[in-house]
Chains A and B, each alone.
Chain A
């Protein structure tokens, strides 16, 4: 991990392979396989992370993305390589979908020097400046204005990038959300506010926290186009985000998307999947419309996937996750001297005298 400041990519880059904004047939088998692989990778990666957490290899807070995979994969498929992404603390899946290697993400969870934040960020603070992945933020809603700030900079420079902001539905009740939506609309910023509504802010169901259940309507208060989206279908997510991206890129207009999804696991590792605030039946009910199964079934029907193909995919993904785990485990901790670097731009004032 470099410890010097690298400028964030500012120019127009090529479409990412598999990106929805440009090349190729958006419904090609190759693209669908790519989405399926990404979702399965996130699923297996998160399962492994959960395992590593219970073994004490991952510390602190760890929030898994299991059940929400189609949101990250579909949304990021609609972006260009030079667009910006800002997210909250349940962001492992988005980091992987953006193309941060599973090695670098797992190593960061392990706090290792080879992690995507050099071991200084951890699960909640994944970054990759070269991929325009601006974190990884742990204070609910705080990163929403940051994403709008990136969009402000795009417009200021006269570029045609867009800024995509992931946040949970609970963040839609915090002041930063409202202040930012107002300014983004007022100033016509090229930003997509993607609210991942998984139904719960920690253990508080949306019905107990929000006077408005259909969060998409909140866009109306700020004269902002908005849409409710099925978050369990990766293609639906990609299309909806694609429309918002086009509006941002071509018209410099923001969009609010409420993407409805569900997390199968607890809020964090200390929270059971079900028990106090939701029932096992409810979790089972949502599991029946699993985002990976939805796409896999569609591909099977189209003759684009068979048992052999599925097994091969599972084996590939398993190998990648095992490799990431081994890499993370074998990677070195940061050096003691890393403690005082990156507090300020170099030359650092260094350690305090004492």
Chain B
């Protein structure tokens, strides 16, 4: 069935809450307001205030309350109104959720999902236009998921809620209205598996989250120029599907990595590290990266466009690695 990314997430939450009483949703405006981005629409009505919990604006506090509840056996889904605000809660995500299993010698776990929109939207300025997946992916103990389509949004959120480890689930702020085919019935997408979203032979475009659509658009444009691009959607950043990356690059011998984050120590840097080490012999050109410009996001529309990665920039990078 055709669903928006928003409704796909909503149905994942609804199904998992129906399936397991331990699952509850907590965050700012998730209940009576129906969600700042309407992802939780109707859930308060269906499940009541015990399981759909509106919080004060206190990210650190309610993230930590979620962690504590998870440690003793519940399965919290903590909504961050945006990942920009989660910086206030990063201590609980990194120092508590990610470490409690290890610090306790495996006695305790933390099955929790932190979710919310990530990345730049339109002219929201420097503090509301950030993509932090590389920050969380840096941390052993966390899993990091960045769905780029409605089907993956649903299937991965359901898997994340059932997972026994803390999951950072980053939704594309610009994707909520995107429509796509979502399989009927129980639909689970495994964590840690990339997917070839479009097969090709000349160059691999590696992407995740919002950049999946951008890479597909770039692949269309390249096809118009008789260049065949394979689009590989990482879907999960940690654990990274290294096999899928090496398989694709082994086939195309050329690669561009696109991401919404900044260039320094970004997700692409990790992908490039993998390819140069384990796929060195298959490369016919250096791997290039397309990222946000290395600046805080400007408000001005023209400058913002210049800062963001887009299909034209991906096409340009692909042609450079193809030497055309």
Q: Is the CB of A343 within 8 A of B58?
A: no
Contacts of B192 in A (CB 8 A): 349
Q: Is the CB of B64 within 8 A of A142?
A: yes
- What sequence of 0s and 1s flags, for each residue 77-102 of chain A, a beta carbon within 8 Å of any chain B beta carbon? 00000001010000000000000000
Bound CA–CA A91/B187 (angstroms): 45
Among B24, B69, B143, point to the contact of A150 (Cβ < 8 A): B69
Asked if B132 is at the interface of the complex by the 8 Å CB criterion, the answer is no
Q: Is the CB of B103 within 8 A of A345?
A: no
Partner-B contacts on A (CB < 8 A)? 1-8, 10, 84, 86, 115-121, 125, 127-129, 134-139, 142-154, 156-157, 163, 175-176, 179-180, 182-183, 186-187, 341-345, 349, 353-354
Asked if B178 is at the interface of the complex by the 8 Å CB criterion, the answer is no
Q: Is the CB of B65 within 8 A of A148?
A: yes
Asked if B165 is at the interface of the complex by the 8 Å CB criterion, the answer is yes
Q: Is the CB of A142 within 8 A of B107?
A: no
Q: Is the CB of B72 within 8 A of A344?
A: no
Q: Is the CB of B50 within 8 A of A2?
A: no
Quick one: given A10-B73, A145-B67, A180-B65, are A344 and B105 in contact (CB under 8 Å)? no
Q: Is the CB of B141 within 8 A of A344?
A: yes
Task: State how many angstroms separate the Cβ of A13 from the closest Cβ of chain B.
Answer: 14
Bound CA–CA A186/B111 (angstroms): 25
Contacts of A353 in B (CB 8 A): 242, 278
Q: Is the CB of A149 within 8 A of B242?
A: no
A163 to chain B: closest residue by CB: B68
Interface residues contributed by chain B, number (CB under 8 Å):
47
Q: Is the CB of B68 within 8 A of A147?
A: yes
Q: Is the CB of A5 within 8 A of B101?
A: yes
Which one of B24, B62, B64, B65 has the highest number of Cβ atoms from chain A below 10 Å of its Cβ? B65
Task: State how many angstroms separate the Cβ of B281 from the closest Cβ of chain A.
Answer: 16
* 17 A-B pairs with C-beta separation under 8 A: A1-B105, A127-B104, A129-B104, A139-B95, A145-B60, A145-B65, A145-B92, A147-B68, A149-B70, A151-B68, A156-B24, A156-B69, A176-B60, A179-B58, A179-B62, A345-B101, A345-B109
B143 to chain A: closest residue by CB: A344
Among B70, B107, B143, point to the contact of A6 (Cβ < 8 A): B107
B64 to chain A: closest residue by CB: A145
Q: For window 55-99 of chain B, which residues contact chain A by CB distance below 8 Å? A: 55-56, 58, 60-74, 91-92, 95-96
Q: Is the CB of B65 within 8 A of A84?
A: no
Partner-A contacts on B (CB < 8 A)? 24, 50, 53, 55-56, 58, 60-74, 91-92, 95-96, 100-109, 111, 140-141, 143, 163-165, 192, 239, 242, 277-278
Given pairs A86-B68, A146-B68, A180-B64, 4 additional interface contacts (CB within 8 A) = A134-B68, A139-B95, A142-B91, A182-B56
Q: Is the CB of A134 within 8 A of B72?
A: yes
Task: State how many angstroms separate the Cβ of A353 from the closest Cβ of chain B.
Answer: 7
Contacts of B141 in A (CB 8 A): 343-344
Bound CA–CA A325/B104 (angstroms): 21
Q: Is the CB of B104 within 8 A of A343?
A: no
Q: Is the CB of B92 within 8 A of A121?
A: no
Q: Is the CB of B60 within 8 A of A179?
A: yes
Q: Is the CB of B63 within 8 A of A145?
A: yes
Bound CA–CA A344/B139 (angstroms): 12
Q: Is the CB of A148 within 8 A of B64?
A: yes
Quick one: given A179-B58, A349-B192, are A152 and B95 in contact (CB under 8 Å)? no
Q: Is the CB of B72 within 8 A of A150?
A: yes
Q: Is the CB of A149 within 8 A of B64?
A: yes
Bound CA–CA A176/B62 (angstroms): 9
Q: Is the CB of A8 within 8 A of B71?
A: yes
Bound CA–CA A180/B69 (angstroms): 13
